[in-house]
Amino acid sequence: MDPSPRNLSAVVFLLLVIGTAEMASVGAYTYCTHLSGSFHGLCVNDFYQCTDTCLAESPDNVDGACYDFPPRCYCVTECLNII
């Protein structure tokens, strides 16, 4: 019994979908942080100042957040998650 062209097309399509999904999962982005180079002072109540400083520092920065004790400004970037 020969395989039908319809079944063969379905198998090729499924392999294409699975391969594409696997490639997308390997190159997924995650968030990385680094200490701001130009923010001065503590991140006490004004979180927006940290965000504004980080966004002005680099177009790669997507946000700013306060971490540590005492709180310091960290810039958030998207980085490639290599599995």
- 2-12 pLDDT, tens digit each: 667 676 666 55
- 2-46 pLDDT, tens digit each: 667 676 666 555 556 665 655 555 567 788 999 999 998 888 766
- Are 75 and 36 within 8 A, CB to CB? yes
- For 24-73, the DSSP string reads HHHT-EEEEEEE-SS--S--SS-HHHHHHHHHHH-TTEEEEEEETTTTEE
CATH 3.30.30.10 is held by the domain 25-80:
yes
- 45-76 pLDDT, tens digit each: 667 899 999 999 999 999 999 988 888 999 99
Q: What is the pLDDT of residue 43?
A: 84
